[in-house]
Amino acid sequence: MITVIQPDPKVTVDRFGQWLKAGFRIVELFRNPVPRMEECAGGIVVLGGTMNAVEGPEWLPALRQLLVDAVDKEIPVLGICLGHQVLATAFGGEVVVGTADAKEDGPYEIRVNDAGQADPVLRVLGESAIMPESHNDAVTVLPPNAQLLASSSRCEVQAMRIGSAVSVQFHPEASPATMARWAEMSGLDGAEMQRLMELADAPIRAAGQAIAAAFSAECSAEGR
């Protein structure tokens, strides 16, 4: 069973709830501590959140250590947005908070490089895909030994791989309604965001579902 770690009540598992075929349980960090390593052997997903990965809440060091331990034990990990940034800081990468140059809200083209097209999870996107973005922070320096998998025009580190962990800056789980709600929280036009996301939703939904299936397959390997 996959352990889905949810740092923020406003950022839920959303459509991944329908798509994670390996089965999952949710650990809400705003109510519960970071789970123990032995509880997470089936795989880990770390969702996004409105806090940051540099000076975050009291659970941040324990979450970083959990991800390091998971990779050491070759347990599959998928980091999404904040989860992507926490993974980067856990392994010695750098995250910039509130960088206007890399801020993205809405549907963006993700360009998948050769390494990404060979990756067991990211390869489902092919050479490129439109995916939902909602972030103010960004990974600016890859951790040592991390492999860059994908980029966008505004944010170079859109996806990376560190051993058994893969992470993405974009939100493969997010529905148009969720993107609209996040836009309103950021002072943007929620109705316009929903319109834009609905226009692009057919390929986004297919790509998000494919990522969830590919990660579930990694978690199911060897009887996890």
Residue 173 annotated in active site: yes
pLDDT for 13-44, tens place per residue? 999 999 998 789 999 999 999 999 999 999 99
Residue 84 annotated in active site: no
What confidence score (pLDDT) does residue 10 get? 96
Choose, from 40, 104, 171, 219, the residue flagged as catalytic.
Answer: 171
Residue 218 annotated in active site: no
Among candidate residues 182, 146, 183, the one with its CA nearest the CA of residue 167: 146
For residues 149 and 116, is the Cβ–Cβ distance under 8 A?
Answer: yes
Distance in angstroms (rounded) separating the CA atoms of residues 127 and 115: 11
pLDDT for 198-217, tens place per residue? 999 999 999 999 999 999 99
Q: What percent of the chain has pLDDT over 70?
A: 99
**Mean predicted confidence (pLDDT) in 34-63:** 94
Choose, from 104, 133, 173, 218, the residue flagged as catalytic.
Answer: 173
Query: If you write DSSP's letter for every residue of 77-124 in order, what string do you get?
Result: EEEETHHHHHHHHHTT-EEESS-GGG-EEEEEEEEE-HHHHHSTTGGG
Domains and CATH numbers, the chain: 2-223 (3.40.50.880)
pLDDT for 112-149, tens place per residue? 999 999 999 999 999 999 999 999 999 999 999 999 99
pTM of the model: 0.95
For residues 34 and 46, is the Cβ–Cβ distance under 8 A?
Answer: no
Choose, from 40, 81, 155, 219, the residue flagged as catalytic.
Answer: 81
Mean pLDDT of the chain: 95
